[in-house]
Amino acid sequence: MKARVFALLVTAVAVIALSAPASAAAAPHRTSLTAIEYEVMCPICGTLLALSDSPQAQREKVFIAGLIAAGKTKAQVKDALVSEYGDTVLALPKGSGFDLSAYLVPVIGFVIATIALAVGVTRWKRAARPPGSGPPGSSGPSPDDAERLNADLARYDL
């Protein structure tokens, strides 16, 4: 049983690790407006920059494009935006300090839920099995049930 729970845990961790964004491993040297505008906000509109065409959003896009043309990385562009608009310009929480909890809590929650599910399923299966019964497949209907079943089948036999 413990081995099965352990296997489930290992599978869950592997799934999480494989589904992590591939961009984390990529070198952040070159970036684009498209890559950034889905990760920052239009502060006055309260929406993702990519979703806004307001005059302020247009100026923000021009600002970002200028920094990209100057060879700035995505992190440098974001830092520049934060110095202009403050932290609220970031659509994604930072990966440090208290904001790190925004990333950790869902993962921890998923792991806890997986463990709870595994334990729950195991207990449920154990409770559903009658005491003293053999492995699944070895138990058939009782003689009384078999007799009644045969009688019913004979009655409907054409």
Partner 1 sequence: MSARAFASFLAVLAVVGLLTYGLVSKGSSGVSLGEPAPTAVLPRLQGAGSSSLAAYRGSWILVNFWASWCGPCRQEAPALESFQRAHRGRGFTVVGIDTRDLSGDGRDFVREFGLSYPQLRDGDGNAAHEFGTTGVPENFLVDPGGKLRLLLHGPVTDDYLKQYVAPLLPGARS
Closest CA to 81 of 103, 49, 115, 117: 49
Q: Applying CB under 8 A, which of residues 59, 123, 125, 129 lies at the interface with partner 1?
A: 59
What contacts 102, CB < 8 A, 6 or more positions away? Answer: 93
Q: In angstroms, what is the minimal distance from the CB of 53 to partner 1?
A: 12
Q: In angstroms, what is the minimal distance from the CB of 75 to partner 1?
A: 19
Interaction with partner 1 in 95-154: which residues (CB under 8 A)? none
DSSP state for residue 40 in the 8-state scheme: B
Helix spans in the chain (H): 2-19, 33-37, 55-69, 74-85, 101-128, 143-155
CA distances from 122 to 47, 73, 107, 139, 156 (A): 45, 50, 23, 21, 40
The window from 32-40, 57-65, 71-79, 149-157 that contacts partner 1 (CB under 8 A) reads 57-65
Residue 44 in contact with partner 1, rule: CB under 8 A: yes
Residue 85 in contact with partner 1, rule: CB under 8 A: yes
Using DSSP's 3-state secondary structure scheme, residue 107 falls into: helix
Question: What is the C-alpha to C-alpha distance for residues 131 and 137, in angstroms, rounded to an integer?
Answer: 15
Q: In angstroms, what is the minimal distance from the CB of 56 to partner 1?
A: 5
Q: Applying CB under 8 A, which of residues 36, 49, 50, 60 lies at the interface with partner 1?
A: 60
Residue 58 in contact with partner 1, rule: CB under 8 A: yes
Q: Applying CB under 8 A, which of residues 9, 35, 56, 73 lies at the interface with partner 1?
A: 56
Residue 87 in contact with partner 1, rule: CB under 8 A: yes
